Structure formats: C-alpha cells, structure tokens
C-alpha cells in the first residue's frame, strides 16, 4: 500500500502516524481506514469523474479535524531525527525526545494554531529569529529551526535533569538558600543578555527552569518571551522565582504573582533577613520602588553576606491566617482625624476647581460649555471659544513654557537648556501670559534631496492591475527616499533596542506611538507645523493627525502603496526580481542593511520591499477595501486596536511576505524587530 498522505497539506507521512508532522492535521486511524476510503472514493469517481474527488477530499478533511493529536511512533523518523519518546503535549505543540548522530535533542512540533493566526506566527518567527542569535550557557543551544506557515518546529539540545517545579514537589529540601542565590545570579545574567534581542524572562516559571545533572541551571525556550517589557518586570520575575522556590507549601499562595502585584511583600520564612530585604525591593508592588534594573539587582545579590549564620525570618502568625482563609488584604485602621483632613481636602479641591476651571459656566450656563482648565483666574471673563488640550503639542513660537509634564520611556530626550531647544514643547506645557514677548520666526525647511515628490494620481488600491475598481485618488506629497536611520532617530529619541546596531542602518523595534512624537519633534526643529496632536501619556495616548499641516508624519496606507508601486505593476517595488530592489533572507543574512544600497523604483524611492517593514498611519482592517471610507486621499478606519505594517524585511523569503501588496498589523504601543518607518510631508 502506498504511503498515506495528509488531507490538509497533501504531503506523505509515516504510515502509522495519525498526526501530520507538517501541518498539524489529525488524520484519524488511516492505517485501518485507508483501504475503505480508497474504495468509496473510486465508486464516486465512477459517477462523477471531475467534481466528486474534490468533494470527497473536502468532506474527509472536515471529518478529520480534531483538536487532539495522536503521536508519532517511537522509532519513526522526522526530518532526519529518530523519535525516542513523547515528552509532553500542551497548547504550544508536542515535544519529543529525539536522537541524531548519537546525540539527544528536544523536538517541538507546533500546533496548527501557532500559524493559523498570522499574529501568533509573526511573534513566534520573531522569537525564533532572536533566539538563534543568542549564545548563553544557561539557554540550551538551538540546533535547527523551521518557521513557516507550512511547518513550524524547533530542535534544541536536550537537558537531562528536573524542573525546579518538580524538585519542589518531590524533594523540597534540595532547594536551599545557597542554591537560590546561585540561580538568581545566573538568571540575572541571562536576562541581561537576552534583553539585547528584544526577549524577556518576565513570564518565566519554575517549570521553565531545569537543573541538570551537574546541578547547573538551564532556561527552557518555553520560558523566554518575545516582548519589549520594562526591565523592572524582569527584576520582579527573578525575585518571584526565588520566593516561590524557597517558600514552604503551607504559605506558597502568599508568593503568587497576582497577590504580590497588589499586596505588601511578606518575608519568606526560614530565609535570611538579608535576602528577604533584597526580595522585598525586587518584588515591590509599585514598579517605581523596585531596583532600577537588572544590574542593580545583581549588585544587591553579590553584596549579600553568607547565608550560613545569618538571622532567619519568621512568618508572622497573621500571614498563616490569611493564607488558609483566603481573606482579603487587611487595611490599616483609620484614625478619627482622617475624616477631618478628608473634608479639608475636599473643600480645597472645590476651591481650586472654582478658580482654575470654567465649572461655574458648566453648572449655571446654557449647557453648551465643556469643563476645561483655564489657569488661575480671579474675575474676568474666560474666552469660551478657545479650548486648551490637557496634554498637547504646542506651537514652538508660543509664549513662555513652564510646568513640566510627565514623560514616558521613548519620549523626546529632556536636554538641559530646554528653553533654547525647539523640542521643549514636548517637555513643557504652554501657559497663557499677558507679557509681550518678541520671538524670532524660523523659516520652514523645504524638503531636500533626501525626499522624492510623488505627483497626484489615481491607482488601484490593493491590487496589481488597472481595472476601474478600487481606484483611489491621491494628492501629491513628499516621501523620504530611504527609511529613517538610527542616527536620525537618536537625535531626538532614546536609542532603540535595534536588531542590528549602526548609525546609518534603519531604526527598528520602535512603537508607532513613539514615531508620532519623533515626527513632531523633527517638525518643530525644522520650523514646520506638527502634524500630530497627542493627548495623554503611555498606552493611554490618543493621537490624531492634521493632514493639512506641513510637518512630518507617517504615510497613509494608500500613500505608501502608491509610492511603492512607482507607477508600475511589478511584484516588488521597482522590479519583478526581488534581488534587484530588496534586502531579504537570501541576500541579507538576517541583518538590516544601509538604506539606498539597492536599486530605487521609478520615483527614486529605496527599500519599500525588504530591509525593514514599515509602520503606516492607518488602523488595520481585514482588507484595504473594507477600510475605505473615502476614495479621495483615504486615511483608513476611524479607530481600531492594531496599526498597519507594510513591506517585507530581511527575515522574509522571496514570497508573498515580500510582495508589494503584503500587509501586516501590530500593536501601536510596542515595537517589533525589523519594523521601522519612513517620513512623509503634505505638499
């Protein structure tokens, strides 16, 4: 009998397998039913030689779908590896112990769910791409990786030993303070190393740490995440692991992550007071009170006196009561004078509202006024026509700026001498004053040779032909010929955690929100009207765009595609051959290259296929057509949760991911490796 094939991907599979190793399809018991299926198919083919086979295959495929997977048989082969045994199954996939050339490895074949969702696949690809670059003795060596929509699997060196979770359950006496200190120091070094690649240990658990036969530690691949998180979250994670490792079973619920995020840290009983002090700071529920970074945590651990002979902590009795009853956190008793001071605070607040807002107009007016901050005023009439935004980017030529506002990571650099820096509008809020002040008007900078002018026109949005459907009209605009470099970014912003360091290389791994701040800073430095209006801080920022302004901004998705096509219908920007115009996996070696080193398209624009993918303005929808509210200068949907990313990058092969029409999406609050941007100005 011929080897069975997968109904989902059509590839040959091991005869006894019930789970396709190539696409994750549950095949059912093919060894028992193959002959019966062949007979039934042949009978139907006799009646209808063309349509019936496709219908039968579709029906069989539908019947075979199952969320549970059977296993590859021990002794069978997968991509040259001999299956020894299954280790476990989880939501990520199936893990096997395999052997090749006398050496044992850990093989993980990822479930279909890992690549049915393009976001999950993208995150997994980024994680695998970065892990390949890491050389850390605490992380098992990645021997082989295949990451594609057709097949996703990894092969790591196998670690013989037990997880710390199993050791705690089976032999908790082995988990000593000395061992915990040693482990914590190694985890700190590993966390510092992998953060250079956009990875984190913030979600690591005891099951993700293996102690090998030499009593050394290894962090499993499953314990590493691809996410740009605050370094103090890694500090918290390492402290949490140490506390959970050393805590007795009776009090272990006191050291769960969810509780420690909201409750005061309680000393781990039986552990030295000195180590508990370090843990208390690392696990502070207020992130601002933790160690400033991993280096500070390492210094604190290194400075600890020996555990032997140190004073040990004892858990207070009330902690045991709380642990066994699952009661809520006890709040301190209120003293009688608190009521008095609360009333005083309320009165002062109401007085402040009366003199610094237009609350009287809101309460006693016609109902047309909105509550807003007016500044401290006694008497006089407030101009109701002019509304001041609570946190807004103001004209650089306004009057005095004082009152510093809160900034977040990624905001503009806060230089000394802000009064002489045109970017001070980001660190200071404008205050209305009656003082007259003479200002020097800076002439707007005109686009230079590094910008190409794209003339107005009509094109087929989201397709490569000239049929009169989906045609949109675009006004003329200026677009930067190359992607923004790290040198340009670092002039205004804190250096990004880029994939490949180089001042003349594209900046990447920067969030969409931070790009808006950069654009406004550059606009003001060049005497232009900022295009973006920014309210709020951090993830709560709301950003709107004034497309009539002459300042720098991101292109809309339509502008990006129009510029990338260059008036042609080729698969890549400027050529039908990817190698002529694009840096991608086959010719870039996974590293970004200097912009402008490949052939430009007809408009003189470089790298719109390959090098780094690029953020654009629009909120993401399933297709460009569904997001069109206007066919004249479309600007995408009015809202959403994900922003559009266009163009391929150096991780892509010469396929649809590098195609000029390929589109992706990303969270505007976070950066992604190999995703950068280019600038646009309205004409």
485: DSSP letter: B
Q: Which residue has the higher pLDDT, 483 or 569?
A: 483
- C-alpha separations of 197 from 133, 184, 498, 670 in Å: 8, 21, 8, 15
- Residue whose entry in the numeric block shows the structure tokens 């499993």: 220
Question: d(Cα 155, Cα 158) in Å, to the nearest integer?
Answer: 9
Kindly report, as residue ranges, where domains of CATH 3.90.1580.10 are found in the chain.
452-682
User: How deeply is 226 buried, as exposed, middle or buried, from its count of CB atoms within 10 A (0-12, 13-18, 19+)?
Assistant: buried
CB 72 within 8 A of CB 96: yes
Question: d(Cα 403, Cα 415) in Å, to the nearest integer?
Answer: 15
Q: What is the CATH number of domain 452-682?
A: 3.90.1580.10
Confidence label for 3 from pLDDT (cuts 50, 70 and 90): very low
The pTM score is: 0.42
| Token couple for 459 | 């094109």
Residue-level pLDDT at 19: 64
Tell me the backbone φ, ψ of residue 472, rounded to 5 degrees: -125, 155
Kindly report, as residue ranges, where domains of CATH 1.10.510.10 are found in the chain.
161-325
Question: d(Cα 246, Cα 178) in Å, to the nearest integer?
Answer: 10
Distance from the Cα of residue 432 to its chain's centroid: 40
Q: In terms of Cα–Cα distance, which of 21, 23, 19 is closest to 9?
A: 23
pLDDT at 56 over 70: no
Residue-level pLDDT at 148: 63
Tell me the backbone φ, ψ of residue 120, rounded to 5 degrees: -65, -45
Ramachandran sector of residue 300 (left: φ over 0; alpha: ψ -120 to 50; beta: rest) = alpha
Q: In terms of Cα–Cα distance, which of 253, 248, 297, 252 is closest to 275?
A: 297
CB 106 within 8 A of CB 88: no
Residue-level pLDDT at 468: 59
For 568-590, give the secondary structure using H, E and C. CCCCECCECCHHHHCCCHHHHCC
Question: d(Cα 189, Cα 200) in Å, to the nearest integer?
Answer: 12
Q: State the average pLDDT over residues 196-200.
A: 88
Strand partners, 471: 460
What does the pLDDT look like over 218-271, one tens digit per residue? 888 878 887 778 899 999 999 999 999 898 876 777 888 878 888 888 888 889
CB 578 within 8 A of CB 654: yes
Q: Which of the four CATH numbers 3.30.530.20, 3.30.200.20, 3.40.50.1820, 3.40.50.2300 does domain 77-157 have?
A: 3.30.200.20
Q: In terms of Cα–Cα distance, which of 226, 235, 239 is closest to 200?
A: 226
Residue-level pLDDT at 299: 95
CB 557 within 8 A of CB 617: yes
Gap between the terminal Cα atoms of the chain: 69
What does the pLDDT look like over 665-675, one tens digit per residue? 999 999 999 99
Residue-level pLDDT at 12: 57
| Token couple for 434 | 């009656």
Q: In terms of Cα–Cα distance, which of 169, 129, 352, 349 is closest to 252?
A: 169
72: DSSP letter: P
Residue-level pLDDT at 443: 60
DSSP labels for 171-202?
-GGG--HHHHHHHHHHHHHHHHHHHTTTEE-T
What does the pLDDT look like over 175-186, one tens digit per residue? 899 999 999 999
pLDDT at 573 over 90: yes
Q: State the average pLDDT over residues 116-140.
A: 74
Kindly report, as residue ranges, where domains of CATH 3.30.200.20 are found in the chain.
77-157
Question: d(Cα 442, Cα 437) in Å, to the nearest integer?
Answer: 15
CB proximity list for 510: less than 8 A, separation 6 or greater: 410, 489, 493, 496, 671, 676, 677
Q: What is the CATH number of domain 161-325?
A: 1.10.510.10
12: DSSP letter: B
- Residue whose entry in the numeric block shows the structure tokens 């807003």: 372
Q: In terms of Cα–Cα distance, which of 103, 116, 108, 102 is closest to 78?
A: 108
User: 3-state class of 389 per DSSP?
Assistant: coil
Q: State the average pLDDT over residues 28-53.
A: 40
């Amino acid at each position: 009998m011929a080897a069975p094939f997968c109904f989902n991907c059509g590839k040959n599979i091991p005869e006894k397998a019930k789970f396709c190793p190539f696409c994750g399809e549950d095949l059912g018991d093919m060894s028992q039913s193959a002959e019966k299926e062949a007979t039934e198919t042949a009978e139907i083919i006799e009646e209808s030689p063309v349509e019936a086979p496709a219908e039968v295959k579709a029906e069989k495929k539908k019947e075979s779908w199952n969320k549970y997977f059977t296993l590859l048989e021990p002794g069978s082969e997968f991509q040259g590896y001999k299956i020894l045994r299954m280790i476990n199954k989880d939501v990520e996939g199936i893990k096997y112990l395999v052997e090749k050339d006398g050496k044992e490895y850990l093989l993980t074949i990822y479930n279909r769910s890992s690549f049915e969702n393009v976001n999950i696949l993208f995150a997994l690809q980024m994680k695998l791409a970065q892990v390949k670059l890491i050389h850390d003795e605490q992380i098992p060596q990645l021997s082989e990786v295949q990451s594609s929509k057709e097949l996703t699997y990894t092969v790591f060196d196998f670690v013989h030993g037990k997880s710390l979770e199993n050791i705690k359950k089976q032999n908790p006496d082995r988990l000593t303070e000395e061992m915990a200190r040693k482990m914590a120091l190694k985890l700190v070094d590993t966390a510092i190393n992998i953060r250079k690649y956009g990875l984190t240990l913030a979600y690591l658990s005891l099951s993700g740490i293996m102690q090998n036969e030499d009593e050394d530690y290894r962090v499993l691949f499953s314990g590493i995440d691809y996410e740009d998180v605050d370094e103090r979250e890694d500090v918290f994670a390492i402290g949490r692991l140490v506390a959970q490792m050393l805590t007795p079973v009776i009090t272990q619920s006191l050291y769960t992550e969810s509780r420690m995020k909201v409750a005061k840290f309680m000393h781990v009983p039986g552990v030295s007071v000195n180590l508990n002090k370090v843990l208390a700071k690392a696990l502070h529920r207020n992130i601002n009170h933790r160690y400033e970074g991993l280096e500070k945590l390492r210094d604190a651990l290194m400075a600890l006196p020996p555990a032997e002979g140190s004073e040990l902590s004892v858990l207070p009795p009330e902690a045991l009561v709380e642990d066994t009853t699952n009661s809520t956190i006890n709040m301190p008793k209120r003293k009688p004078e608190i009521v008095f001071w609360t009333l005083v605070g309320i009165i002062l607040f109401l007085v402040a509202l009366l003199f610094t807002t237009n609350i009287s107009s809101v309460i006693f007016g016609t109902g047309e006024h909105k509550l807003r901050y007016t500044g401290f005023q006694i008497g006089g009439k407030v101009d109701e026509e002019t509304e001041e935004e609570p946190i807004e980017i103001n004209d650089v030529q306004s009057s005095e700026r004082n009152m510093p506002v809160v900034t977040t990571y990624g905001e503009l650099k806060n230089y000394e001498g802000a009064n002489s820096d045109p970017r001070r509008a980001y660190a200071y809020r404008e205050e209305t004053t009656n003082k007259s002040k003479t200002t020097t008007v800076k002439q707007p900078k005109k686009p230079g040779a590094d910008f190409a002018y794209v003339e107005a026109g009509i094109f087929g949005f989201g397709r490569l032909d000239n049929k009169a459907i989906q045609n949109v009209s675009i006004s003329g605009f200026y677009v930067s010929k190359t992607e923004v470099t790290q040198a340009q970014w670092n002039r205004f912003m804190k250096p990004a955690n880029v994939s490949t360091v180089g001042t003349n290389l594209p900046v990447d791994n920067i969030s969409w929100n931070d790009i808006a701040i950069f654009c406004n800073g550059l606009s003001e430095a060049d005497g232009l009207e900022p295009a973006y209006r920014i309210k709020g801080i951090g993830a709560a920022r709301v950003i709107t765009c004034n497309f009539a302004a002459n300042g720098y901004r991101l292109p809309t998705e339509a502008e990006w595609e129009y510029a990338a096509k260059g008036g042609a219908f080729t698969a890549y920007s400027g050529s039908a051959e990817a190698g002529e115009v694009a840096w991608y996996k086959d010719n870039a070696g996974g590293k970004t290259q200097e912009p402008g080193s490949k052939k430009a398209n007809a408009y003189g624009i470089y790298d719109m296929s390959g090098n780094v993918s690029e953020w654009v303005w629009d909120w993401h929808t399933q297709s460009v057509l569904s997001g069109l509210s206007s066919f004249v200068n479309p600007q995408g949907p009015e809202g959403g949760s994900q922003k559009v990313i266009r163009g391929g990058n150096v991780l892509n092969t010469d396929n649809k991911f590098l195609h000029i029409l390929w589109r992706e999406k990303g969270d505007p609050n976070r950066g992604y490796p190999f995703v950068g941007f280019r600038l646009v100005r309205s004409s």
